[in-house]
Structure 1
């Protein structure tokens, strides 16, 4: 178990406060482990073990607590026996009907510190916003970064050079459990397949009461194969029509939203740098974990340019950047990144193998007049920085502590 200090630094200031700490992210991305890390740190600070109440609602042992009233009665009775503040840890809380009413009630009626996890973005919409408005903080957990992957893979790989380690990351991805099966190829593939089917069934199909399973599978396949490519629901509708499936663009967008709610995909909007406006067409989508893409559909090494882009995008999210796709005149910039006014531009390509490629990637910044850092990231081993634009090998870029 690694400490995931990047997340702990963000959570730590809120520990012990009356704000509800909400951890979200794709299924099996390490949310339960994060609860354990928080619990361990609280214990080390002097909190007594008997002050903790921990419930994982996917455990059948707690099936009798899947309504707000049942959970409220149980927790009220158990906290009455605790001397001092109660520390409540609820894993996969969305399994409880009307859970948000229950959590809000605890805030007012109990002396408690509350931590919850869930695998659906709508956890923080609708009723939760109504009941907790402004009295919660959200932390999204992502699969392992390359740095976290190395911490667990290197003891397994021995003296394997970092280039080989990165090749393994390209196909295995960053789902935490893979370390438990030592990143063995076939077991890893089977695990990721099962994870994908679990997300598709539990977090998308069942939760959204989808009946047209075939349509959902086709849309997921299309988006997964085309990660990082500009997307239009209308063009996908035409493609499906050519396969004898007539479907409205709005239906496609709804299905994709369900996938984004389950943290399977992330949508990136386009930004016009000249007009300073967000464009509502031709967004891009990236998958939460590129290892899932390889296990389910294959082709990560064939589509390495897209996969590298996906890896960089997820790293930008991990580090807290808001990300858009840039457009200025006829040129595109892969990522415009902003974190509280701290800005960054990133171009991603496989190899700067020709002068034409070099001119295209570095030339994307020709009309960007500000002084924020501008990067071109690739698999090349030699530094090709020029004109104030920094070139980085992707491994070095991912392992740098700071980019500014």
Structure 2
């Protein structure tokens, strides 16, 4: 089990506090493992295992306590038999009706430390904000980074060269379970395809009462095909019209939002770097795990430029950056990244294969006059840094602990 220290270092300061720790993210990205890692840390600090109460609400044996009242009564009864502080671990809490009322009640009535996971961004909206306003802290968990993938892959294939491991990562992505099937291609693709179906059915269709599942599939296929490309709901609507199907742009936006709420896609807004304003149209979208794209849509190696961009974008989220697409005049910078008083610019490309490509990729920074770090990231092995702009091989870039 990989220790996932990047997340543990963020969660650790909140262990044994009265804040509810909420872990969200796409289904099967490793949220349950994070609960196990927290338990390990608690055991090492001297907490007794008997103080833990753990429930995974996808387990049918807990179907009888999937209402706030039933869950509250069950936990109170079990907690009264425990000496000392009670540690509560609830996996996929969104399966419990009105769960936020129960969590708030337990927080008030018990000496407890609460950890919950869920697969929907709506988890922390509306009712929960009302009941737990200011009393929870959220951690978004993502599929494996390239560094984590390397660590796991080398446990199975210790002699594999790094460039071959990166190729596997480009195709399979970072879903943790793939190591259990030894990254075998047919089994991995099958698993990822089934995972996509599960996300679509449980976290999108069922949760949002979608009737037109065929339309949802078509929209998600369109977004997958165009990860990293700017497009609008109107352009998708026109695309459907060319296929003799009328779909309103608002319907398309709603369906994409449902996918984003399930952490399948992430929306990136565009920013005018000269006017310092957020542009209202033509956002970009990236997929939480590019391995899912390979399984459902295919063509990751063929569309490698888009996939490299997707990989870098997800790495930026893991490292806590707020990310936008930058526009400067008629030029577009792939990523403008903010974290507190830090700012970096990143341009991603497959290969700097010609002088024309080099001029284009480095030239996007011509009008940017500030002194924040500017990167061009590609698969090239040789350092082509110039004019204060840093060039990095993408594998090295992803494995660096810090960028500066």
Shorter-chain TM-score bucket reads over 0.9
Q: Report the TM-score, using the length of structure 2 for normalisation.
A: 0.99
Alpha-carbon distance in structure 2 between the residues aligned to 1:328 and 1:371: 16
Where do residues 7-18 of structure 1 align in structure 2 (5 Å cutoff)?
7-18=7-18
Per-residue CA distance 1:156-175 (angstroms, 9 max, x = gap): 22322111110011101000
* Aligned position for 2:310: 310
Confirm whether residue 348 of structure 1 aligns to residue 348 of structure 2: yes
* Aligned position for 1:193: 193
Where do residues 274-285 of structure 1 align in structure 2 (5 Å cutoff)?
274-285=274-285
Alpha-carbon distance in structure 2 between the residues aligned to 1:368 and 1:69: 57
* Aligned position for 1:137: 137
Where do residues 375-394 of structure 1 align in structure 2 (5 Å cutoff)?
375-394=375-394
- Cα RMSD of the aligned pairs, angstroms, is 0.6
Alpha-carbon distance in structure 2 between the residues aligned to 1:341 and 1:299: 38
Confirm whether residue 374 of structure 1 aligns to residue 374 of structure 2: yes
Where do residues 204-283 of structure 1 align in structure 2 (5 Å cutoff)?
204-283=204-283
Where do residues 54-69 of structure 1 align in structure 2 (5 Å cutoff)?
54-69=54-69
* Aligned position for 2:292: 292
Q: CA offset at residue 371 of structure 1?
A: 0.8
Alpha-carbon distance in structure 2 between the residues aligned to 1:168 and 1:122: 33
SS at match of 1:207: helix
Confirm whether residue 153 of structure 1 aligns to residue 158 of structure 2: no
Where do residues 78-157 of structure 1 align in structure 2 (5 Å cutoff)?
78-157=78-157
Alpha-carbon distance in structure 1 between the residues aligned to 2:114 and 2:276: 40
* Aligned position for 1:332: 332
Number of positions where the alignment pairs a residue of Structure 1 with one of Structure 2: 404
Alpha-carbon distance in structure 2 between the residues aligned to 1:140 and 1:341: 22
Alpha-carbon distance in structure 2 between the residues aligned to 1:121 and 1:182: 31
Per-residue CA distance 1:77-124 (angstroms, 9 max, x = gap): 111111111000000000000000000111111110000000000001
Per-residue CA distance 1:314-347 (angstroms, 9 max, x = gap): 0000000000000011111000001112111100
Alpha-carbon distance in structure 1 between the residues aligned to 2:360 and 2:118: 42
* Aligned position for 1:53: 53
Alpha-carbon distance in structure 2 between the residues aligned to 1:145 and 1:292: 15
Could you tell me which runs of 5 or more consecutive residues in structure 2 were left unpaired when the two chains were aligned. none
Where do residues 70-81 of structure 1 align in structure 2 (5 Å cutoff)?
70-81=70-81
